[in-house]
Amino acid sequence: MINQVRIFDTTMRDGEQSPGASMTLEEKLELAKLLEDMKVDIIEAGFPIASQGDFEAVRAISQIIKDSTICGLSRAGAKDIERCAEAVKPAVRPRIHTFISTSPLHMKHKLNMEPEQVLEKIHDSVTLARNLVGDVEWSAEDATRTERDFLRRAVEIAIKAGATTINVPDTVGYSFPDEYGAIFKDLIENVPGADEVIFSAHCHNDLGLAVANSLSAVLNGARQIECAINGLGERAGNAALEEIVMALRVRENALPFKTNIETTRLTQASKMVSRITGFPVQFNKAIVGKNAFAHESGIHQDGMLKNAETYEIMRPETVGQGATNLVMGKHSGRHAFKDKLSALGYELADNAFLDAFQKFKDLADRKKFVYDDDIVALVDDAASHISENIKVARLRVVAGTDGPQTAELDLIINGENKWTTQRGNGPVDAVFNAIQALVPHDAVLDLYQVHAVTEGTDAQAEVSVRLADGDYMSSGRAADADTLVASAKAYVSALNRLLGKQLRHENGEKKAS
Ligand code: KIV
Ligand code: ZN
């Protein structure tokens, strides 16, 4: 359809390339199901040659997802393409996405290839991919710094070799919207066969222009946008899916294009990605930030009470924010809790539901009012620690003006209970020293961040921790009414991920460049 824009989600590929944002197989499957429910057209599930873990994730996602196209990324070599084809083979709608650099800078310094050799490689790679699957996307890496004549020739070769989608990435986030749009216009008007393929935008946010550039591409003929939940991606990230989708929806008068996306799931997706990666969403983040619909000033609040349209260009419910404000407490029963979960977009299986209900009851005993954000934090927290090998069993901390601050910690490590008591320069340091004593590791603390889930002194604390060990980085997040317990859980969660990554690497997984 001419006015339809396809949404291509790359949270699990480009998004996962953000330092510290790795996801486990279970997490990728969980996210893939939500993306399918949201009606994402294409899910880029990974880079199969990059590691055994990536290969398995793309394959497993290809097996379970029926409605969305499943895409794997591949460089231009035959081995990469064949591995990618194998990974997406079980998919109902498989796609190979192959790329090569076309800018003078990349061809010379990265590929060490002459332009004519690159053109030959485009022909060979797309031909091979097209012999393996019917749906092939080709990308000109660093397209926005590529000479226009050369880009036209490259695109023409890719189309002739059988590419069905042509992606024009702003790999380094350098373009301005008018420049980026002009590239699409030029290619679509001048390359033979351009009318038989879909043109795609893929923008990085180094200058904060990824969404604007993507929309400009649409105005100039692109009909696919590559984006990621919460704008995750290399360096400053990719265009944020939720911003693209809502811009197209709210400004249909200026951009008469539709997407298939079920917008009421956007907030849930944002929270899920934040929980999985351990990357907090900034409060003022457009569409999904905690403050995106908050009105603080008296004048605004007055206007809102008279007519919400005075200061709101979309209703929060449209994006799945604040669907209900019913406050829960210790007298709320299972039925009310189930209704609340479902209003917040969660359908939990029986055991997970009972577990969440018990945690809700425990929280309600400690906190007078349990708000939506408390429940989201509680359910997400339970889900993120389920499959961890190291778990926090018990923590007791001595803090205050008269040191020494000490932490008495019990961990369950691969099913075995271990405990220690350690001192520290403050209670958090004591807790982290206790973890170090029970699980010796070389990683250093790269980030430690605490924020309150709701208002009030009895609010749950949400803690984010990032650990770094040489090339490895991992994040963990946890919520608890006790800040120190949340800190211990977040640290342990990041450590679980880091050790898992290092183990997978030792077991022979290699990283693709
Ligand atoms: O930014 C980029 O150029 C990419 C390509 C691999 C599509 O991510
Ligand atoms: Zn990219």
Q: What pLDDT score does 208 carry?
A: 98
Q: Give the span between the Cα atoms of 424 and 467, in whole angstroms.
A: 19
Q: Is the pLDDT of residue 501 over 80?
A: no
Q: Give the span between the Cα atoms of 251 and 361, in whole angstroms.
A: 43
CATH topology of domain 6-277: TIM Barrel (3.20.20)
477-486: pLDDT as tens digits: 888 999 999 9
Q: Which of 137, 144, 171, 203 to mutate to test the pocket of ligand 1 (most atoms within 8 A of CB)?
A: 171
Q: What pLDDT score does 347 carry?
A: 78
Q: What pLDDT score does 325 carry?
A: 52
Q: Is the pLDDT of residue 363 over 90?
A: no
**What residue spans define the domains of the chain?**
6-277, 293-321, 324-383, 390-512
CA-proximal residue: ligand 1, atom 2 (nearest): 171
Looking at all shown ligands, the one closest to residue 141's CA atom is 1
Q: Indicate which atom in ligand 1 lies nearest the CA of residue 14.
A: 8
Q: What pLDDT score does 513 carry?
A: 34
Q: Is the pLDDT of residue 82 over 90?
A: yes
Looking at per-residue pLDDT, the higher value among 372 and 30 belongs to: 30
Mean of pLDDT over the chain? 91
Tokens 């990605």, residue located: 273
Q: What pLDDT score does 509 carry?
A: 52
Looking at per-residue pLDDT, the higher value among 429 and 330 belongs to: 429
Q: How confident is the model at residue 301 (pLDDT cuts 50, 70, 90)?
A: low
Which of 139-153, 302-316, 392-406, 496-510 has the weakest average pLDDT?
A: 496-510
Q: Indicate which atom in ligand 1 lies nearest the CA of residue 17.
A: 8
CA-proximal residue: ligand 1, atom 8 (nearest): 14
Q: Indicate which atom in ligand 1 lies nearest the CA of residue 13.
A: 8
User: Of 77, 79, 91, which Cα lies nearest the Cα of 122?
Assistant: 77
Q: How far is the CA of 15 from the centre of ligand 1 (A)?
A: 11
Q: Indicate which atom in ligand 1 lies nearest the CA of residue 97.
A: 7
Q: How far is the CA of 169 from the centre of ligand 1 (A)?
A: 6
Q: Is the pLDDT of residue 294 over 80?
A: no
β-sheet bridge partners, residue 96: 72, 136
Q: How far is the CA of 233 from the centre of ligand 2 (A)?
A: 7
Q: Is the pLDDT of residue 323 over 60?
A: no
Q: How far is the CA of 209 from the centre of ligand 2 (A)?
A: 14
Q: How far is the CA of 384 from the centre of ligand 2 (A)?
A: 27
- Residues, CB-to-ion distance under 5 Å, ligand 2: 14
pTM: 0.81
Q: Does domain 390-512 have CATH number 3.30.160.270?
A: yes
Q: How far is the CA of 172 from the centre of ligand 2 (A)?
A: 8
Q: DSSP assignment, residue 417?
A: E
Q: Indicate which atom in ligand 1 lies nearest the CA of residue 141.
A: 3
Specify whether the CB–CB gap between 269 and 35 falls below 8 A: yes
Beta carbons within 10 angstroms of residue 510's beta carbon: 10
Q: Indicate which atom in ligand 1 lies nearest the CA of residue 167.
A: 7
Distances (CA, A) of 405 to 395, 427, 448: 13, 5, 19
Looking at all shown ligands, the one closest to residue 172's CA atom is 1
Q: How far is the CA of 100 from the centre of ligand 1 (A)?
A: 9
Looking at per-residue pLDDT, the higher value among 56 and 447 belongs to: 56
Looking at per-residue pLDDT, the higher value among 28 and 510 belongs to: 28
CA-proximal residue: ligand 1, atom 1 (nearest): 171
136-162: pLDDT as tens digits: 999 999 999 999 999 999 999 999 999
User: Of 61, 24, 17, 117, which Cα lies nearest the Cα of 386?
Assistant: 24
23-41: pLDDT as tens digits: 888 889 999 999 999 999 9
Q: Which of 10, 14, 180, 235 to mutate to test the pocket of ligand 1 (most atoms within 8 A of CB)?
A: 14
Looking at all shown ligands, the one closest to residue 239's CA atom is 2
Q: Is the pLDDT of residue 512 over 70?
A: no
Q: How buried is 271 (Cβ within 10 angstroms: 0-12 exposed, 13-18 middle, 19+ buried)?
A: buried
Q: Indicate which atom in ligand 1 lies nearest the CA of residue 172.
A: 1
Q: How far is the CA of 112 from the centre of ligand 1 (A)?
A: 19
Q: Give the span between the Cα atoms of 137 and 143, in whole angstroms.
A: 15
**Distance separating the N- and C-terminal Cα atoms of the chain:** 37
- DSSP one-letter string for 264-320: GGHHHHHHHHHHHH--PPPTT-TTTSTTTT---SHHHHHHHHH-GGGT-SS-GGGGT
Q: How far is the CA of 72 from the centre of ligand 1 (A)?
A: 12
Q: How far is the CA of 444 from the centre of ligand 1 (A)?
A: 30
Q: Report the share of the chain in percent with pLDDT over 90.
A: 67
Q: Ligand 1: residues whose CB is within 6 Å?
A: 14, 99, 139, 141, 167, 169, 171, 202, 204
Q: Indicate which atom in ligand 1 lies nearest the CA of residue 233.
A: 8
Q: What pLDDT score does 405 carry?
A: 95
Q: Is the pLDDT of residue 2 over 70?
A: no
